[in-house]
Amino acid sequence: MDTRLNHALDLKKGRDERARERFVSGLRGYVLMDLAGELRQDYESKQLPAHLSTGGAEPASGSDVHNIVKGTPVFNFYSSLRCTAQELVWDSVMDSVGANQDALRGTFDSLSQAPRGSLTLDPDLDPPRYADAVDVHLMPSNYRGAADSVVEPGAVYDNGLNVFAFGAMGRQLNDIGWSMATFFKLKFPHLKPRKILDVGCTIGHNTLPWKQTFPDAEVTGVDLAAACLRYAHARAEAMDVEVHFKQASGDCLPFEDNSVDVVFTSMFLHELPVKMIHAFMAEAHRVLKPGGVLLNMELPPNSAVEPYDGFYLDWDCYYNNEPFYKPFRDQDYRELTVKGGFDPEQFFEAVMPRQTYVSEEEFTGAVTGAAEFDEDTGRLSDQIKWYGFGSVKAGE
Amino acid sequence: MSDLSREVRGGRKSFYDDPDVDRLLAIVTRLLEEHWALRERYAALEKLLVEKQVLGENDVEEFEFSEADSAALDAASAKLIRDVLGAARNIES
């Protein structure tokens, strides 16, 4: 495992810190591939047959599967170890972030001196309760960090995500961004976007590929968390990519009506209560130009996957401090866009391999057909496929 | 240098009837992480010693302790076993 981030915000890490990251990354791979395989096999060969033989009904949903496997030895071991691995993801990088705090703040200051992009913070923006009540995915202090945080939560997230992903999310954790921007280019070859937003961008790791794909566009990352945005700004500058970052909420985007060509999100909607998703959809519709495109990279809806896969993905909602995960995945995604003002006929969705891991031919072939869901859709492993959905604003 | 808080608002779930089993599994896993860190450090050290020609490629593998050193290691190993496995001796049932 490469514990380096290969940009100017890279931390100076000791031998033990690097070894711990390697260990936790390997542990994650073991839990999410080896143990996950055992969990599925135990369900198919033992738990489900036992359930059916005692008169139980065929599971129709992820919740049904959850009720069958909950409390079994394999489930308990998998789940307990997965929670521990999740905690260790952050734990394994926090000493390095703490030890490099002064250097990190200094690098942020120097990279902000003559930036190509910009950073606009809103000191009056209080984090809404939904975003601040629990530490999502067991990440201590969440995206916001402690009261005196400057860039530290961004560094914890960047380094932690590198451990979390065990090499499955791209060299610079940007495969989602590359996949979605490339998908957009293939699906809408006639569009030449001039203004692109990435809402809920955190550290901008998936924002940058949009600028790299569309160099003439003005690309802006929006997020609630100031500390992540400062880090995102410095990270983009360190990589010499001109991106702007603004602190704002997804239901109150600081952009004019009909002014944006693309509203993009990645792994954002499942962090929102359904009411807030509705508000975001309406807001995206408001800022998009007629003919503009909303594209959300997300987990697939429960209705599109097998009950076992639904249970597997919703595990995070039950046990990984992701309270809005399942309520979101239970929605009809087309309906979500329609309630935001989009035409139901304009809805689209796609399942795709990871763009930076496959050939251009394979990627193009996969995204031009209809969305095909399988157990790898949205399930983090070395075989993961990304899912995206969206719509086009009517009027052009 | 700053010590970042590891506290998680919202806590984390336990899965076994007795949450102490979850705690024990977490502690053993964390210990395994430290064990790995030591192994990696040791591997780096051995590699460096060979690279700098302080040791030959198989010197550590082929090294035999003297009788006296071996006896001392037997005693140290027995003490470690008693120390570690005896750590729970005072816990009431």
DSSP characters over B15-40: -SSSHHHHHHHHHHHHHHHHHHHHHH
Q: Model confidence at A395, in pLDDT bands (50, 70, 90)?
A: confident
In this structure, the answer to whether residues A156 and A49 fall within a common structural domain is yes
Distance of CA A219 to CAs A9, A173, A180, A194, A254, Å? Answer: 21, 18, 14, 8, 14
Kindly identify which residue of chain A lies nearest to residue B5, measuring between CA atoms: A140
Q: Model confidence at A72, in pLDDT bands (50, 70, 90)?
A: very high
**Would you say residue A122 lies in a domain?**
no
Query: Is A76 within 8 Å of B16 when comparing Cβ atoms?
Result: yes
In this structure, the answer to whether residues A211 and A154 fall within a common structural domain is no
Tell me which residue has tokens 């002014």. A259
pLDDT for residue B1:
63
In this structure, the answer to whether residues A104 and A216 fall within a common structural domain is no
Distance of CA A24 to CAs A28, A77, A222, B72, Å? Answer: 6, 17, 30, 35
Count structural domains, chain A.
Answer: 2
Query: Is B7 within 8 Å of A91 when comparing Cβ atoms?
Result: no
pLDDT at A396 over 70: no
Q: In this structure, which amino acid lies at residue A151?
A: V
Site from B14, B15, B27, B48 to mutate, A interface, most A CB atoms within 10 angstroms: B15
Give the model confidence (pLDDT) of A325-371 as tens digits. Answer: 999 999 999 999 999 999 999 999 999 999 999 999 999 998 888 89
d(CA A280, CA A272): 9
Give the model confidence (pLDDT) of A236-291 as tens digits. Answer: 999 999 999 999 999 999 999 999 999 999 999 999 999 999 999 999 999 999 99
pLDDT at A12 over 70: yes
Of the candidates A101, A112, A93, A99, the residue with the CA atom closest to the CA atom of residue A159: A93
Total beta-carbon pairs less than 8 A apart between chain A and chain B: 101
Task: Give the ranges where A193-329 is alpha helix by DSSP (H).
Answer: 208-213, 226-238, 274-287, 307-319, 325-329
pLDDT for residue A42:
97
pLDDT for residue A388:
97
**Would you say residue A121 lies in a domain?**
no
In this structure, the answer to whether residues A32 and A153 fall within a common structural domain is yes
Please report, for the domain that includes residue A252, its CATH number: 3.40.50.150
Using left for φ > 0, alpha for ψ between -120 and 50, and beta otherwise, residue A297 falls in beta
**Would you say residue A313 lies in a domain?**
yes
In this structure, the answer to whether residues A174 and A108 fall within a common structural domain is no
pLDDT for residue A2:
82
In this structure, the answer to whether residues A363 and A298 fall within a common structural domain is yes
What is the average pLDDT value for chain A, to the nearest integer? 95
In this structure, the answer to whether residues A78 and A179 fall within a common structural domain is no
**Would you say residue A7 lies in a domain?**
no
Strands A288-298, A386-392: pairing kind: antiparallel
Domain that holds residue A206: 167-392
HSE-up (13 A, CA, CB side) for residue A98: 14
**Would you say residue A321 lies in a domain?**
yes
Give the model confidence (pLDDT) of A182-208 as tens digits. Answer: 999 999 999 999 999 999 999 999 999
A352, A356, A361, A364 alpha-carbon torsion, rounded to 10°: 40
Those of residues 143-172 in A touching chain B at CB distance below 8 A are: 146, 152, 156
Query: Is B6 within 8 Å of A94 when comparing Cβ atoms?
Result: yes
- b (16+ CB within 10 A) / e for A322-331: bbbbbebbbb
Distance of CA A120 to CAs A162, A218, A249, Å? Answer: 27, 15, 13
**Would you say residue A5 lies in a domain?**
no
How large is the average pLDDT for residues A292-316?
A: 97
In this structure, the answer to whether residues A337 and A252 fall within a common structural domain is yes
Contacts of B13 in chain A (CB under 8 A): 79, 83, 318-319
Distance from CA of B39 to the nearest CA of A (A): 9
In this structure, the answer to whether residues A32 and A68 fall within a common structural domain is yes
Query: Is A84 within 8 Å of B29 when comparing Cβ atoms?
Result: yes
Contacts of B29 in chain A (CB under 8 A): 27, 81, 84-85, 88
- b (16+ CB within 10 A) / e for A178-208: bbbbbbbeebbeebebebbbbbbbbbbbbbb
d(CA A195, CA A162): 29
Distance of CA A233 to CAs A99, A195, A296, A394, Å? Answer: 21, 18, 22, 33
d(CA B72, CA B69): 5
In this structure, the answer to whether residues A150 and A209 fall within a common structural domain is no
**Would you say residue A61 lies in a domain?**
yes
pLDDT for residue A115:
94
In this structure, the answer to whether residues A215 and A232 fall within a common structural domain is yes
pLDDT by 10-residue block (mean), chain B, 93 residues: 84 93 94 95 96 94 92 90 82 74
- Report the DSSP beta bridge partners of residue B85: none
> Do A206 and A174 touch, CB atoms closer than 8 A?
yes
Distance from CA of B36 to the nearest CA of A (A): 7
In this structure, the answer to whether residues A155 and A199 fall within a common structural domain is no
The rounded Cα A294 to chain-centroid distance in angstroms is 16
DSSP A313-327: HHHHHHHSS-TTHHH
